[in-house]
Structure 1
Amino acid sequence: MIQTIRSYLFIVQMYVMMLVIGLAFFPYALFKKEGARLCCKTFSRYVFWTMGWMVGIRHEVRGEVPEGEVLIAAKHQSFLDIMMIFTALPKAKFIMKRDILWTPIIGFYAKRLDCVPVVRGKRGAAIGKMVADVQAGRIDPGQLVIYSQGTRVAPGAKVPYKVGTGVLYEQLNQPCVPVATNVGVFWPRKGMLRRPGLAVVEFLPAIAPGMERNAFLAQLEQVVEERSDALMSEGGFDGVHN
């Protein structure tokens, strides 16, 4: 019961501060992309601080964090892995659902950070739009983050990896850095309860460009799922879906 109350208080104050920090940085972010990036990293670090003492979630980033132009293919379990990946990378921009652009505060900052919106359910058009937007965005180099399963996935659930990551890998001809995580064990994709423990995001060795698409996707899925399973086991996951 105490953890549930703490979780509710943590979530309420988090969204209040999202509004406060977002509005405070708005003038800077409106004219400078650096302002938008600083705002989002400031908010994320605030969340990391409060989740530690309010609900007992510690966080850790492992592996070699890339700094150049690379494709990041990440496991996605909750809002927490977005914040951890974004804060770790120098210039992250995400491929995301187009609907997010209309979300207060988040939508404005997503636009300022050159995130790439796609329409879900229209696979062919979405992939073409992804490639076109990414190529156009080369004037502002950074790390393009895609969630290969296309959605948040609960610990223990099996969701296939979508072809969009393979298309981007071929078109961009860049290294792809897989990312594993266990954050869903502590910060689930649904529900209000936050569980204490060590949330980890781990950058894995890069996959060099030039592989055949299906072989690439098979290798990507294997390394990300195996390492995520190990991290979830480390975090005490018992095999029951959140």
Structure 2
Amino acid sequence: MSLAWQYFRSVIFVIQMYLAMALYGLVFLPWTLFDRRGAYVGARNYCHYVRFTLRLICGTRTEVRGEIPQGEILIASKHQSFLDIILIVSVVSHPKFIMKDSLRYAPVLGFYAQRLGCVPVKRGRRSDAIRDMMGRVTSGDAPAGQLIIYPQGTRVAPGVEAEYKVGVAAIYEQTGQSCVPAATNVGLFWPRQGVLRKPGLAVVEFLPALPPGLPREEFRNTLREVIEARSNALMAEGGMTR
């Protein structure tokens, strides 16, 4: 299959994906306005639609491995592209994210993110950002569910090293919840930038939970080690060579 044909298929996929986002947003809007469950059902169904059309149009298969986190728990996930968000939201029951404050103003996405209970945080000085983040998480304004945070703070391309920030450890300590690490290789097939979607098997894998109460540095080091080791294994499975 030629690169030009795959690029054309990818463009078609991206266009219909965003059109579908608007359509799903409108269909589930009345329910979502009066009942938060509408946002959960709408988001989950949209994510299943994206997974289906990604395989149908681009030949990119998707898989979620491991035990699906339930109840009040943290999920600390490797973040390589929008696809890992799609996969997580498609399977967890009550997802909410630590997200960039600017996303609140994104059409459709911003409204549904707020109804899901996502926590917007302004970027700036680290200490201020952490205080703001913790205040929003512990205020009780957000609904119960699975709080997803990206410990590296942003999307990181496959093979690129990036620091694990202190925010995830602060939330882990102050919530007193278990933390489920999540590894991925999705960036090999749906990159952090650009339109091209590549055939293959994109995976998000939930790993065994880290119990509450670990010392901060032990938690950060363990989290980094298990996520990076498993993500590297998934990327090797996906065909990446170093």
TM-score range, shorter chain: over 0.9
Contact 1:62 1:201 in 2 (8 A): yes
CA displacement at 1:140 relative to structure 2: 2.7
Corresponding residue number in structure 2 for 1:160: 163
Cα distance per residue 1:127-153 (max 9 Å; x no partner): 112222222237732110000000000
Q: Which amino acid aligns with 2:207?
A: L
Query: Are 1:95 and 2:95 an aligned pair?
Result: no
Contact 1:75 1:147 in 2 (8 A): yes
Q: Map of 1:22-101 to 2, 5 A cutoff?
A: 22-101=25-104
Q: How high is the TM-score relative to the length of structure 2?
A: 0.96
Which residues in structure 2 correspond to 1:89-168 (within 5 Å)? 89-137=92-140, 140-168=143-171
Within 5 A, what are the aligned runs for 1:205-224? 205-224=208-227
Shift of 1:118: 0.4
Contact 1:114 1:137 in 2 (8 A): no
- SS of 1:24's partner is helix
Shift of 1:72: 0.6
1:75-124 per-position Cα deviation (integer Å, ceiling 9, x unaligned) = 00000100111121111100000000010000000110110000112321
After superposition, the Cα gap between the structure-2 partners of 1:226 and 1:152, relative to the gap in structure 1 and judged at 3 Å, is same
Higher mean C-alpha displacement, 115-124 vs 223-232: 115-124
Task: Give the distance between the partners of 1:56 and 1:129, measured in 2 at CA.
Answer: 41
1:228 equivalent to 2:213? Answer: no
Identity of aligned residues (%): 53
Q: Which amino acid in structure 2 is aligned with residue 178 of structure 1?
A: P
Is the CA contact (8 Å cut-off) linking 2:71 and 2:146 kept in structure 1? yes
Shift in Å, 1:24: 1.5
Instruction: Report the 3-state secondary structure (helix = DSSP H, G, I; strand = E; otherwise coil) of the residue aligned with 1:137.
Output: coil
Paired residue type of 2:53? T
Structure 2 residue runs of 5 or longer lacking an equivalent are none
Gaps of 5+ in 1: none
Give, in whole Å, the separation in 2 of the partners of 1:49 and 1:139. 30
Question: Alpha carbons of 1:55 and 1:139: their partners in 2 closer, same or farther (altered >3 Å)?
Answer: closer
